[in-house]
């Protein structure tokens, strides 16, 4: 963190929720911001995120830190509302604010809890490289502490792996499971190799992930490289995490909805349909003009389809 009081030199008008919802909007903000004529330094981006969350508070979106095992803390955004409570798990490397538009759509109706994974956003862990198993354990502890069943678990991208596993472990507490931007990865090593190749070209990765990819500015490149180089990112996609991909949707007996972007270049339509075929009664909804992250590119449509699905369960 930088010295106390640095936040006052940031233009408050820039701290709008929409500036912190996607990689592109956050990077654009960082590009614009300067402190005493110099670029924002490492660590100050985290302060900017913290300040942005505070700006959300008047809209009824608050933040909290949830203690979990290993002297770790999970950072969360939450809104109050009625049951069922939505628990939102971001894509790997994305902060809880990536659910910002969804939280705004839920405001005044359903309670919701959006969580940062260990090693990302504002969550903190003394474990330097939390792997998939550690992430599942920590997220489940956070849910047990802060969320009131019945729950609607919503996962984005690789966060869907954690959502599916928690739904399998807590069937008595989960009313519905929603998978966005993910499917059945039948050959995880090959998929991981594909992701590694894409990651070697940030421009190619962004084109594959977004229907409208952010422009590859220096700030976007810095953010991209920061995420890809984090120990928690690579640890998640190795060992238990890569092994979980081929069986993520086995033995699920929770009402499940898949929401997928038609322009997703990370997870194929075949993978989405194959995953849905493994879950009895699962439904699939497709979003036009949408890539790998429906919560960022089509948030209102995502909420609409989830609400429609939940109505069929009553």
At 74, is the pLDDT very low, low, confident or very high (cuts 50, 70, 90)?
A: very high
Interval 188-221: pLDDT, tens: 999 999 999 998 898 999 999 999 988 888 777 7
Homologous superfamily, domain 43-313: Alpha/Beta hydrolase fold, catalytic domain (3.40.50.1820)
Interval 219-250: pLDDT, tens: 777 778 878 888 899 999 999 999 999 999 99
CB distance 271 to 190 below 8 Å: no
pLDDT of 137 = 96
pLDDT of 49 = 63
Please list the residue range(s) of the chain that carry CATH number 3.40.50.1820. 43-313
Per-residue pLDDT at 5 exceeds 70: no
pLDDT of 121 = 83
Interval 109-134: pLDDT, tens: 999 999 999 998 889 887 668 999 99
Mean pLDDT computed over 61-79? 92
pLDDT of 59 = 72
Can you give the length of the chain in residues? Answer: 314
DSSP readout, 169-180?
Answer: H-TTTEEEEEEE
Q: Which residue has the higher pLDDT, 33 or 282?
A: 282
Mean pLDDT computed over 163-178? 97
Instruction: Calculate the dihedral angle through the C-alpha atoms of 259, 178, 181, 275, rounding to the nearest 10 degrees.
Output: -90
Mean pLDDT computed over 286-311? 96
Q: Which of 114-128, 247-261, 266-280, 283-297 has the lowest mean pLDDT?
A: 114-128
């Amino acid at each position: 963190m930088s010295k106390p009081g640095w936040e006052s030199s940031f233009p408050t008008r820039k701290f709008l929720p929409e500036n912190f919802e996607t990689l592109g909007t956050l990077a654009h903000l960082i590009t614009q911001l300067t402190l005493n004529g110099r670029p924002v330094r490492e660590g100050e981006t985290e302060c900017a995120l913290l300040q942005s969350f505070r700006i959300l508070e008047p809209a009824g979106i608050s933040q909290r830190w949830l203690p979990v095992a290993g002297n770790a803390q999970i950072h969360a955004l939450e809104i109050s509302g009625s049951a069922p409570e939505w628990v939102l798990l971001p894509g790997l490397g994305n902060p809880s604010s990536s659910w910002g538009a969804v939280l705004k759509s839920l405001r005044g109706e359903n309670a919701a809890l959006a969580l940062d994974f260990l090693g990302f956003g504002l969550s903190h862990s003394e474990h330097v490289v939390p792997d998939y198993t550690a992430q599942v354990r920590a997220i489940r502890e956070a849910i047990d502490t802060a969320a009131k069943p019945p729950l609607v678990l919503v996962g984005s991208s690789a966060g869907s792996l954690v959502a599916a596993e928690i739904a399998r472990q807590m069937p008595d507490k989960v009313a519905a499971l929603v998978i966005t931007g993910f499917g059945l990865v039948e050959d995880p090593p090959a998929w991981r190799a594909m992701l590694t190749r894409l990651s070697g070209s940030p421009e190619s990765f962004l084109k594959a992930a977004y229907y409208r990819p952010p422009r590859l500015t220096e700030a976007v490149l810095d953010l991209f490289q920061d995420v890809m180089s984090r120990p928690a990112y690579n640890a998640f996609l190795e060992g238990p995490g890569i092994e979980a991909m081929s069986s993520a949707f086995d033995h699920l007996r929770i009402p499940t909805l898949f929401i997928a972007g038609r322009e997703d270049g990370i997870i194929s339509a075949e993978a989405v349909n194959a995953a849905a075929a493994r879950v009895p009664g699962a439904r699939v909804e497709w979003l036009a003009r949408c890539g790998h992250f429906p919560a960022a590119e089509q948030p209102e449509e995502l909420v609409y389809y989830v609400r429609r699905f939940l109505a069929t369960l009553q």
